[in-house]
Amino acid sequence: MTPDILLILGGGCAGLSLAVRLADGHFPYQKVIIIEKRDAYQNDRTWCFWKLGNTHLTHLAAFEWKAFRVASNNAEAILDCTETPYQMIRSCDVYDYALKKIKQSDRIELHLGHSINNIAKTSQGEWLIETDRGSFSGSLVIDTRPDSFEDIKPILWQSFYGQEIISETRLFEASVPDLMNFLQKSDDGVAFSYILPFSETEALLETTVFGTEILTADDLADRQFSLVNRITNGRPYVVSRSEYGVLPMGGMSADIMASSSYFKVGLMAGSLRPSTGYAFQRIQRWAESCSISIKNGFGPIGHFPDPWPIRMMDDLFLKVLRDSPHLGAMMFYKIFKNVGPDKVIRFLSDHGKFSDCLSVIFALPAKPFLQMLLKGMIGLVKGSRT
């Protein structure tokens, strides 16, 4: 059976990134149809990463910084990243760019405002997607939609709530963002502030918690209010935009391929680095690999799993954070302070060498990790999961 129509479920970052790649050249399908729940796109999030290697869409970056700060209690480290600047892309710029690319293709369709009610495979081997506004059928499906949080049990949840503020007076050191500032205390996980200055008077201020429970925007509101008040110190400001999100971190077995014609990708299937929450670069690398496979006649592919040592390191690190959150600030600070910016950036950006991994391991305190390894071995013997 000739695959005549490719259906992409979800028009978020992953779905649109693949569509942009396909729109740039020939693909062997009659149509590519994207089915998206939202009625319109808004500036609902930001994506950040270090510019390392040939990262797609970096020309859309609104800001970049050549140094960043990590702070814990009374100590701080400013790390140089001149060779691999830290960049931020606004989601609205990605959406606008993708919509223009899609519009230029006469074989890629985007259908907004369609909630999917049912997915079934017909007796002819076609996939039937039933929505509240009609049905679509095709031979291949790429499902980028996130699973329900009720169906997964990660090691930790990353909950964050941020606000872009504009001040009448100078408040920020525009050249140095705070990547992780652990000055605030927390009894529900590892909490830190994230500050991206766009100028001396405008910045994104964000409160983030790595914890065992999902925190809502209301749960984070008091800490966010305290963060903004500490920065503004009574000076007038306005909030121009807010963003909130939750990311699952580690402990999930990605369903890379459900069948030879149905592919699960995106947040729950390999796009997210478990220990950090960074996903944008991983999505771009998948979109490039998937589009090349499609254009060469091999069909879609899912995310490639991380190497086993990286998966083990990420899960072990997250389990130590889960069981000993009071060690979080110290461990993150030691990694950034003692390993060095080049090695840390490569490690966090999935370009780490073996020596980079070793440097990260030796920068951390041995005792809690050995205890966690022992606990894991005892759990295996008893048939339980830590």
Domain count, the chain: 3
Which is nearest to 290 in space by CA: 4, 19, 97, 2? 19
Statement to judge: residues 284 and 339 lie in one domain: no
Statement to judge: residues 141 and 273 lie in one domain: yes
Among the candidates 238, 268, 295, a domain finishes at 295
Does the global pTM surpass 0.75? yes
Statement to judge: residues 275 and 233 lie in one domain: no
Q: Is residue 115 part of a domain?
A: yes
Statement to judge: residues 287 and 186 lie in one domain: no
Statement to judge: residues 168 and 211 lie in one domain: yes
Q: Is residue 312 part of a domain?
A: yes
Please state, in angstroms and rounded to a whole number, the distance separating the CA atoms of residues 207 and 246.
12
Statement to judge: residues 99 and 32 lie in one domain: yes
Which is nearest to 299 in space by CA: 257, 261, 269, 256? 261
Please state, in angstroms and rounded to a whole number, the distance separating the CA atoms of residues 371 and 320.
9
Phi, psi of 101 (to 5 degrees): -65, -45
- The domain in which residue 264 lies consists of 5-43+91-145+252-295
What spatial distance separates the first Cα and last Cα of the chain, rounded to whole Å?
Answer: 46
Q: Which two tokens stand for residue 142?
A: 């790429």
Place of tokens 């479920």: 9
Instruction: Answer whether 30's CB lies under 8 Å from 5's CB.
Output: yes
Statement to judge: residues 177 and 290 lie in one domain: no
Statement to judge: residues 274 and 190 lie in one domain: no
Q: Which two tokens stand for residue 9?
A: 């479920």
pLDDT along the chain (386 residues), means of 10: 82 96 90 97 94 85 96 90 96 97 95 96 92 95 89 91 96 96 84 96 97 96 95 95 94 60 87 87 93 94 88 92 93 93 92 90 88 70 57
Q: Is residue 60 part of a domain?
A: no
Statement to judge: residues 266 and 131 lie in one domain: yes
For residue 228, the domain's CATH number is 3.30.70
Q: Is residue 300 part of a domain?
A: no
Please state, in angstroms and rounded to a whole number, the distance separating the CA atoms of residues 224 and 205.
8
Statement to judge: residues 231 and 128 lie in one domain: no
**How would you class 290 by CB atoms within 10 Å of its CB: exposed for 0-12, middle for 13-18, buried for 19 or more?**
buried
Instruction: Answer whether 307's CB lies under 8 Å from 186's CB.
Output: no
pLDDT for the residue 56: 83
Q: Is residue 82 part of a domain?
A: no
Statement to judge: residues 28 and 95 lie in one domain: yes
Statement to judge: residues 260 and 126 lie in one domain: yes
Please state, in angstroms and rounded to a whole number, the distance separating the CA atoms of residues 87 and 50.
6
